[in-house]
């Protein structure tokens, strides 16, 4: 049995005094806590540091729970105050508006736990675990099945929701079950069939249910050197075919079969096209990179420009894979 457990000393349910549950005075400003926890609620927290694009405005309210109980407390807090809830994972497939996000933003990146069960070959992990890190951990143990995921720049929660994939493999292929948290605080375990998987999507997209944990079926017992070599090969392929030298969100558009979005964009002559600090990547046209100083509005307008140009040239409507949060209507 191999278990990886993150430090849970922050944002955990505790027996705090009633005074600390609401505020704790400091020299600079009072700190507000979720009632019944020591999970701090940040006001007007900048989200640019929490997205791979390094752009975006502030969250009206922001929390980063480290366990289910604190997550439930956050949902209760929002419900009692009738404020909206937005879930934020690694922020790697996300574009946050320059105007920020109203309501409560709940970050799941600190939900950390992983357990490799050698008897069943199953890996059970919390939503905040990094997909690439898990791929390397599995490789070190000689467990096959996650080699393809080493270049996926996200967390387990996001991978389950969007059916993340690469190299002709995807999350749905190996998912056994996913634990989700409903707005009323109840937990439910769903099978892949119940999640309604298809290409880069599931029934959880657009849903108000939150992935908290997932179990994957892997294949233990292989030579670790062999699995590590295969994982390195997949990683190298990503590094040589996709731009990692500037901030990006990964692939911007879904592939409109039988074409690839990158090929359509490149053939439209848009490689290198730039709006503000946002540019269509030279290495891979289905990537938009932040060349420095880009605003979310620059990226949004470039997405719309690409869509219009491809539509005009090929009569094909490109569907964004990147999720957009906040107001963008007047961006262009």
> Percent of the chain at pLDDT above 70?
90
Q: Given pLDDT bands bounded at 50, 70 and 90, which one contains residue 153?
A: confident
Q: What DSSP line would sit under 53-78, residue for residue? A: T----EEEEEE--SSHHHHHHHHHHH
304 is catalytic: no
If you average pLDDT over every residue of the chain, what do you get? 90
200 is catalytic: yes
* Sequence-ordered list of residues with C-beta below 8 angstroms from that of 112, at least 6 positions apart, any chain: 4, 5, 6, 8, 66, 126, 128, 129
* Sequence-ordered list of residues with C-beta below 8 angstroms from that of 215, at least 6 positions apart, any chain: 122, 123, 124, 125, 175, 176, 177, 178
282 to 45, 265, 272, 285, 291: CA distances (angstroms): 33, 11, 5, 6, 12
Q: What is the model's pTM?
A: 0.86
196 to 58, 200, 203, 320: CA distances (angstroms): 33, 11, 5, 20
251 is catalytic: yes
52 to 29, 90, 265, 322, 326: CA distances (angstroms): 29, 8, 22, 11, 16
pLDDT at residue 138 tops 80: yes
Convert the pLDDT of each residue in 292-306 to its tens digit: 999 999 999 999 999
From the list 129, 144, 147, 321, the catalytic residue is 321
| pLDDT value at residue 187 | 97
pLDDT at residue 225 tops 60: yes
pLDDT at residue 78 tops 70: yes
From the list 66, 112, 200, 209, the catalytic residue is 200
- The two tokens of residue 320 are 């964004």
Convert the pLDDT of each residue in 3-12 to its tens digit: 333 333 335 4
Of residues 86, 91, 23, 32, the one with CA closest to residue 59: 86
Convert the pLDDT of each residue in 139-150 to its tens digit: 999 999 999 999
For range 160-167, the mean pLDDT:
92
| pLDDT value at residue 21 | 40
pLDDT at residue 17 tops 60: no
């Amino acid at each position: 049995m191999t278990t990886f457990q993150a430090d849970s000393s922050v944002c955990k349910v505790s027996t705090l005094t009633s005074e600390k549950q609401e505020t704790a005075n400091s020299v600079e400003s009072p700190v507000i806590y979720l009632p019944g926890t020591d999970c701090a609620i940040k006001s007007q927290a900048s989200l640019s540091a929490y997205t791979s694009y390094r752009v975006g405005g502030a969250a009206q309210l922001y929390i980063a729970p480290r366990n289910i109980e604190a997550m439930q407390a956050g949902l209760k807090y929002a419900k009692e105050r009738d404020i909206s809830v937005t879930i934020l994972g690694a922020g790697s497939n996300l574009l946050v508006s320059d105007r920020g996000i109203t309501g409560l933003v709940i970050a799941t990146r600190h939900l950390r736990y992983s357990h490799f069960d050698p008897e069943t070959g199953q890996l059970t992990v919390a939503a905040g675990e990094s997909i690439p890190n898990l791929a390397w951990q599995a490789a070190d143990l000689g467990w096959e099945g996650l080699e393809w995921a080493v270049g996926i720049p996200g967390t387990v929660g996001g991978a389950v929701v969007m059916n993340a994939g690469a190299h002709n493999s995807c999350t749905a292929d190996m998912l056994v079950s996913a634990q989700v948290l409903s707005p009323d605080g109840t937990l439910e375990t769903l099978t892949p069939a119940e999640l309604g998987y298809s290409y880069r999507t599931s029934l959880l997209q657009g849903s108000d249910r939150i992935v908290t944990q997932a179990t994957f079926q892997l294949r233990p017992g292989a030579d670790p050197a062999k699995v590590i070599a295969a994982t390195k090969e997949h990683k190298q392929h990503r590094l040589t075919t996709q731009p990692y030298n500037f901030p990006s969100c990964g692939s911007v558009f879904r592939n409109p079969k039988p074409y690839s979005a990158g090929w359509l964009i490149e053939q439209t002559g848009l490689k290198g096209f730039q709006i503000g600090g946002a540019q269509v990547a030279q290495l891979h046209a289905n990537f938009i990179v932040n060349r420095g100083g880009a605003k979310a509005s620059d990226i949004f307008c470039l997405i719309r420009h690409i869509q219009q140009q491809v539509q005009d040239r090929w009569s094909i409507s490109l569907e964004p894979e990147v999720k957009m949060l906040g107001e963008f209507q007047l961006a262009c």
